[in-house]
A = this chain, B = another copy of it.
Amino acid sequence: MRLSRLLRNKIEFSHLKDGKLHMVDITHKMKSIRYAAAQGKISMSRQCFDEIKKTTSGIESSYLKKGDIFSVATVAGIQAAKMTPSLIPLCHQINLTHIELDFELNEDDCAVSIRSECKCSESTGVEMEALTAVSVAALTVYDMCKAIDKNMVISDIKLIQKTK
C-alpha cells in the first residue's frame, strides 16, 4: 500500500531524472529560511568516557586540557558542514547562516551525544549539512580518543528536525 502511494505520488529518488544522475534543478525554487537539526552519538569504554568527563567537569585530568576535545570537534563539525557540497556529490552549494554543535555526556551508556543545527536562507534544505556536521564531529572525537579506546562505535546519526 505504501508502494502504491509512492507510485501515485510520483515520489522519486531526487538525484535521478529519467534514470540519469544530476544535481537537481532548484533554479526556480523560492529562497526561504531553512533549518535542520541532526544528532548522533559515540559510545566508548568506561575508562575513555571517564577521561573525557574529567575534562568537562573541572576535575583535573592528566591527559586532557579542559574543553579541548569538544572545541576541536566543534570546529571540525562546523568546517565539515561548510564542506558538505565537496563531500556529498549531488548536494547543492549553499551559504549557511548558522552552525551550532552540542555535546552531552551520557553517563549510563558511556557515550557522547552530539547534536547539530544548521540554517540558511536558500532554495534547498540543510539536512545533509547537519548530518555531516554530526558525523565529522563524531569522527573527530574518535580521533582524539583512539589512543585510549579503539573500539568506539558511532551510531544513531539521524535527522531530528527540518523546517522551512
Contacts and interface: CB of A to CB of B under 8 A. Distances in A.
Interface string A77-99: 01110110111111111111111
Interface string A140-154: 101111111011111
Interface residue SS majority, chain A: mixed
Nearest to A21: B74
A156 interface: yes
Interface of A: 2-3, 6-7, 11-17, 19-27, 29, 33, 40, 45-47, 50-51, 62-69, 71-72, 74-76, 78-80, 82-83, 85-102, 119-123, 127-128, 131-132, 135-136, 138-140, 142-148, 150-159, 162
A15 B144 contact: yes
Q: Which 5 A-B pairs have the closest CB atoms?
A: A155-B155, A14-B147, A25-B98, A71-B71, A154-B157
Q: How many copies does the complex hold?
A: 6
Contact of A14 (B24, B90, B101, B146): B146
Nearest to A1: B47
Given A47-B2, A101-B22, A156 B155 contact: yes
Contacts of A25: 97-98, 100, 119
